[in-house]
Amino acid sequence: MQRSWRRHQRKQSLLFGVRNAVLPLDLRYSNPMSAEKISHAERIQKQFNTQAEAYAKLSFASEMAGLQRVAGFTKVGQGDRVLDVACGPGFLTMAIAMTGATAVGLDITPAFLAMGQRETRERGIERCSRARGLVERMPFPDAAFNVSICRAAFHHFPDPATVLAEMKRITKPGGALYVLDLMSSSDPEKAAAHNAMEKLCDPTHVKALCETEFQQMFEAAGLELTDTRHAETTYSFEDWITHGGPSVKNIERLRALFQESLQHDTLGLRIWEEDGAIHFAHPGAAFVLNR
Ligand SMILES: C[S@@+](CC[C@H](N)C(=O)[O-])C[C@H]1O[C@@H](n2cnc3c(N)ncnc32)[C@H](O)[C@@H]1O
């Protein structure tokens, strides 16, 4: 076991220098995983393998100008080693590598990793690689990176505290962690309605935390919150539905829930109608944490 872990670490350190590599899935990591969490990870792969192309078409996911702004916000550059946790198609990983930093994306979904690898190669981006693995058991040694970032993924994690602990473990002391995600309302009733609604669109949605829940999780992990930036992500209802790929029955239920919330704010989301179509905004935040 000891020898295979060392071999695995050697393979990882080789990977850092390699452009455009995808490491095969390796489950010999630190935390034991319950069967429940493993089956959630299987659901994640099924959902995102099917919806990969539709997800990547969202400007939120792939529009480089916005992602370069996110990369700029982290102030990373040459000499930094950055892990993009649950990187998905990895357009943010690419934007980070374009700053001069060495960027590695970690994700479990093969379709996203293949897409990221193809896009990175076609764009000629250097110092940008990816690894396949679970964020609850990251296939990297302690303090392997000086910055870790996770965008738009905490709401998919059944055990977000474990993922945060893993981000802390693989980030060097003195380094920085960035957590960016959508949030639910601080009103528990609206938050519950919002989360139930999200699951109708995407069955792998677990829970969008509210701001206080994020803050409590950071404190429990022993991480110092140094900055919080609030931002909304806006969607048309139709684009958002396309990214999730729900059944026709669920689309009708979702439409009814949005109409109800338009009248009574049951979901705690900003929703509006424009030219006969529904639009809405996910409230979100970027949290900056000191390791
Ligand atoms: C909504 S996508 C976000 C992708 C990317 N961070 C972005 O900003 O576009 C969520 C990603 O989390 C990944 N994911 C969810 N749970 C995971 C887990 N337990 N281990 C690894 N990846 C996971 C999915 O495969 C998917 O790529």
Looking at CATH, the fold of the domain delimited by 2-187+203-231+284-290 is given as Rossmann fold (3.40.50)
Residue 162 near ligand 1, beta carbon < 6 Å: no
Ligand 1, residue 85: give the atom nearest the CA: 6
Average pLDDT, the chain: 90
CA dihedral over 253, 254, 255, 259, signed as positive or negative = positive
Cα 107 to ligand 1 centre (Å): 6
Q: Which of 135, 150, 201 to mutate to test the pocket of ligand 1 (most atoms within 8 A of CB)?
A: 135
Higher pLDDT, 46 or 21: 46
Nearest CA to ligand 1 atom 10: 153
Residue 94 near ligand 1, beta carbon < 6 Å: no
Judge whether residue 4 has pLDDT over 70: no
Cα 192 to ligand 1 centre (Å): 22
Residue 88 near ligand 1, beta carbon < 6 Å: yes
- So where are the chain's domains? 2-187+203-231+284-290
What pLDDT is attached to residue 28?
A: 43
Q: In the structure, what pLDDT confidence band is assigned to residue 206 with cuts at 50, 70 and 90? A: very high
Ligand 1, residue 41: give the atom nearest the CA: 19
Q: Is 224 left (phi over 0), alpha (psi -120 to 50) or beta?
A: beta
Residue 168 near ligand 1, beta carbon < 6 Å: no
195, burial (CB in 10 Å: exposed 0-12, middle 13-18, buried 19+) = middle
Residue 134 near ligand 1, beta carbon < 6 Å: yes
Contacts of 244 (CB under 8 A, 6+ apart): 51, 201, 202
Statement: the pTM of the whole predicted model exceeds 0.85: yes
Write the pLDDT tens digit of every residue in 170-189: 999 999 999 999 999 999 99
Cα 155 to ligand 1 centre (Å): 9
Q: Which of 45, 47, 64, 107 to mutate to test the pocket of ligand 1 (most atoms within 8 A of CB)?
A: 107
Cα 86 to ligand 1 centre (Å): 4
Nearest CA to ligand 1 atom 6: 87
Residue 108 near ligand 1, beta carbon < 6 Å: yes
Q: In the structure, what pLDDT confidence band is assigned to residue 72 with cuts at 50, 70 and 90? A: very high
Write the pLDDT tens digit of every residue in 236-266: 999 999 989 999 999 999 999 999 999 999 9
Residue 119 near ligand 1, beta carbon < 6 Å: no
